[in-house]
Copies of this chain bind each other. A is one copy, B any other.
Amino acid sequence: MPTADTDLRAAIDRIRLVDHHVHSVVVDNLTEDELELALTEPYAPPARPATVFDSQLGFAVRNWCAPVLGLPSFASAGSYVARRAELGAAEVNRRFLRAAGASDLLVDVGYQGDRLIPDAALAEAGGFTVHTLMRLEAAAERWVTSDAVGVDGLDAVLRESALGAVGFKSVAAYRGGLRLPAEPPAPEAVEAALLHWRDEQRTRDTPPRLTDQVIVRHLIWWALRDGRPVQFHTGFGDPDLLLHEADPLLLQGLLVRAADLRTPVTLLHCYPFVRQAGYLAAVLPHVYFDVGLTSNHIGTSAVTAVRESLELAPFGKVLYSSDAYALPELVYLGARQWRSAIHTVLDENRREHGWPAEECLRVAELIGRENAVAAYRLD
């Protein structure tokens, strides 16, 4: 039972996190340029002389990741890359993944998944359990190049793709934005859209990319009716996402309409619309959210995002994720920065407003672990 600041921090550091939205990692040695590219992915590095090493994320790597590799804090990018190569990517992965202190990762395998190591290797390297998230649009893109026919065929592909998955992921934000009608699309409209997409795709020799809004909405409603939790990318991402169209509030009508289904919906990232997501989580019984990705990219300001996430929503509606991609550093940094930020916020409340330390710890455990266990039924 923590009774003081240092005890509270130590107890928070011991929470076995559930990282409820994350990607796998590469097992590559990286040059300095490749490391910068991986840190800025999926967007381009800044115009010189700016560099991503001079950013919250770059400073965090030098500050917190360097010691995990046995370097002093704020080692230079050059010495960091050299040390990374010296240890080898497999050992680097092992160190960072284990340092995250997570028991469970929910892995979205839908995005350029073949560059990344398989789930079993990831679980082995990190010493945690890996669960699978099925990306809806990726399943539809398998359908369009398959022989399956119409809505029934698509739904069969979805069902098959969903086998063993603990939840779904929608990237509607990247496929036209979140300004979606409240109601599900009419079945005949879905059939027509599927026919049109199949025809169009046959004339192309590029990989399929779903952008048809009727089909995007069909996938969402299919998943909402399935009942397993549905994740939505909201807020910031790479520049082919129009951030103005990724405000989670744009989903409000749809989420209200879907409320009776009682399917958990989890809003991911949310930055800079964290308070907007907190509102949805407050007023809609089955809506959850996180500030994953955000807590990695805004570094020492993660405390601000975490503080905002604890404003309007019940503490039982906030989740933890890293949204790490490719670099094992990001799995670790997400965890480390979240632990630091949640401790700062809760300890402020302990010192300035008299919250008991055990209540503070309980809130941290809800967010870092228990809420996800309940929403995804991991136990």
A52-89 toward B: CB 8 Å interface, digit per residue (1/0)? 10111011000100000000011000000000000000
Give A252 to B311 CA distance when docked, in angstroms. Answer: 27
- Closest Cβ neighbor of A47 among chain B residues: B285
| A149 interface contact, C-beta 8 A | no
B59 touches A316 (CB 8 A): no
| A377 interface contact, C-beta 8 A | no
Give A355 to B356 CA distance when docked, in angstroms. Answer: 31
How many whole Å from A352's CB to the nearest CB in chain B? 7
| A247 interface contact, C-beta 8 A | yes
Q: A244 contacts which of B252, B304, B371 (Cβ < 8 Å)?
A: B252
How many whole Å from A286's CB to the nearest CB in chain B? 5
How many whole Å from A46's CB to the nearest CB in chain B? 5
A288-317 toward B: CB 8 Å interface, digit per residue (1/0)? 000000000111110010011011111111
B249 touches A54 (CB 8 A): no
Main SS of chain A's interface residues? helix
- With A46-B285, A63-B354 given, is the CB distance from A51 to B301 under 8 Å? no
* Tally of this chain's copies: 3
Chain B residues positioned under 8 Å from A249 (CB to CB): 242-244
Give A44 to B63 CA distance when docked, in angstroms. Answer: 44
Q: A49 contacts which of B49, B247, B316, B362 (Cβ < 8 Å)?
A: B316
Chain B residues positioned under 8 Å from A311 (CB to CB): 56, 297-299, 301, 304
A/B interface sample: 28 pairs, CB < 8 A: A43-B283, A45-B285, A49-B370, A49-B374, A50-B314, A50-B316, A51-B316, A52-B314, A54-B362, A54-B363, A54-B366, A56-B312, A73-B354, A74-B359, A239-B284, A240-B256, A243-B252, A243-B279, A243-B280, A244-B247, A244-B250, A272-B275, A297-B312, A300-B348, A300-B349, A301-B311, A304-B308, A340-B353
Known: A74-B359, A236-B282, A239-B252; 6 extra A-B contacts, CB below 8 A, are A43-B282, A46-B281, A58-B314, A73-B354, A74-B354, A240-B256
Could you list which residues of chain A lie within 8 angstroms of chain B, going by C-beta atoms?
A: 43-47, 49-52, 54-56, 58-59, 63, 73-74, 236, 238-240, 242-244, 247, 249-250, 252-253, 256, 259, 262, 264, 271-272, 275-276, 279-286, 297-301, 304, 307-308, 310-317, 340, 344, 348-349, 352-356, 359, 362-363, 366, 370-371, 374
